[in-house]
Amino acid sequence: MTTLTGIPRTLLFTLRARAEEHTLAGRLFADPVAVTWYADIELDADTKAAMQAAYSPVFQLGTAVRTTLYDNITTNFLKNHPDGLVIELGAGLTTRMYRLEHLGGRWAALDLAPAFEFRQQFEKEMIDEISLSCISASMLDSNWPTQLATTPSENILIIAEAVLFFLAPHEIKRLFTLLNAHFPGAVFAFDVLTQQFSPQARARFLAADAPMQWLLQDEQALASFDLIIQEQWVVTHVFLERWQALGFKPQQLLAAKGNIIFNTRLNALLN
């Protein structure tokens, strides 16, 4: 089995979180594919150590909440654009297309070669069930948009789930410029971390060889990106009862904005 290291290895963490969510009585979503895939993985010693360093009940819930919010964005998009194209950047081991396959649409998954080599071990027998194109490339590669079938930008949803904060600030600017150039008017859903995000969690991911590099002072820092922000959610402000079950107090949760999801439209090239 292909071994993942560094940032690509975090795909296993989020897969585990979704698989565990599926087993809960009050689960936020069903994800039997994640359960099957994770059960088939044999973790090597280094991956077990990295998982031990970075994984926690808080990470599991944060992943589940974030997944639910992105699923809601995608569901609303596909209801309005049944023939729309959903592009997932840094797609890794996403199973969203299986959770939402009843909605139709077309799907494109973009990630680096090691991630797809790992993914294909599980997906080879399922790929014909959905309209999925896999693009092996860096999201910063200026050529990957040309590998997609021509689609009007207003019929495209781009998702960058839990991935942008692993990029350096200059890479973020390059990515936004690339997306604006190729997909003006497309819906772009992504999440950011702010300086309020847990220093302990950052340290755990650093220990797992997955440093978080792009952290904003606050959400106002996005003003320079010339986006049309339609909706936004703070991950710890929704499903409060689940967060409280982990020992957090409502006032503690609502006072912080560490991980924020934005549902936006790409507007124009960056200045």
Higher pLDDT, 133 or 145: 145
Domain that holds residue 191: 6-266
pLDDT confidence bin for 125, thresholds 50/70/90: low
Q: What is the pLDDT of residue 114?
A: 87
Q: 11-63: per-residue pLDDT in tens? A: 999 999 999 999 999 999 999 999 999 998 988 899 899 898 889 999 999 99
Instruction: Give domain status of residue 1, yes or no.
Output: no
The CA-based dihedral angle spanning residues 113, 117, 123, 127, taken in that order and rounded to the nearest 10 degrees:
50
**Residue 228 CA to chain centroid, in angstroms?**
20
- Which tokens sit at 118? 């790992």
Give the total number of structural domains in the chain: 1
**Of 40, 2, 1, 33, the residue nearest 18 (C-alpha):** 33
pLDDT confidence bin for 129, thresholds 50/70/90: low
pLDDT confidence bin for 126, thresholds 50/70/90: low
pLDDT confidence bin for 265, thresholds 50/70/90: very high
- Which tokens sit at 265? 């439209």
Instruction: Give domain status of residue 193, yes or no.
Output: yes
Q: How far apart are CA 231 and CA 106, in angstroms?
A: 23
- CB 90, CB 8: distance < 8 Å: no
Q: 81-106: per-residue pLDDT in tens? A: 999 999 999 998 999 999 998 998 99
Which class for 44: exposed (0-12), middle (13-18), buried (19 or more C-beta within 10 A)? middle
Instruction: Give domain status of residue 271, yes or no.
Output: no
Using the predicted structure, report yes or no on whether residue 268 has a pLDDT greater than 90: no
At 159, the amino acid letter reads: I
Using the predicted structure, report yes or no on whether residue 177 has a pLDDT greater than 70: yes
The stretch 236-261 carries a mean pLDDT of 95
Instruction: Give domain status of residue 88, yes or no.
Output: yes
pLDDT confidence bin for 269, thresholds 50/70/90: very low
Instruction: Give domain status of residue 122, yes or no.
Output: yes
Q: 58-77: per-residue pLDDT in tens? A: 999 999 999 999 999 999 99
Q: 192-235: per-residue pLDDT in tens? A: 999 999 899 899 889 888 899 999 998 888 888 878 999 999 99
pLDDT confidence bin for 124, thresholds 50/70/90: low
Using the predicted structure, report yes or no on whether residue 116 has a pLDDT greater than 60: yes
CATH number of 253's domain: 3.40.50.150
Share of the chain above pLDDT 70, in %: 95
Q: What is the pLDDT of residue 271?
A: 38
Instruction: Give domain status of residue 153, yes or no.
Output: yes
Instruction: Give domain status of residue 12, yes or no.
Output: yes
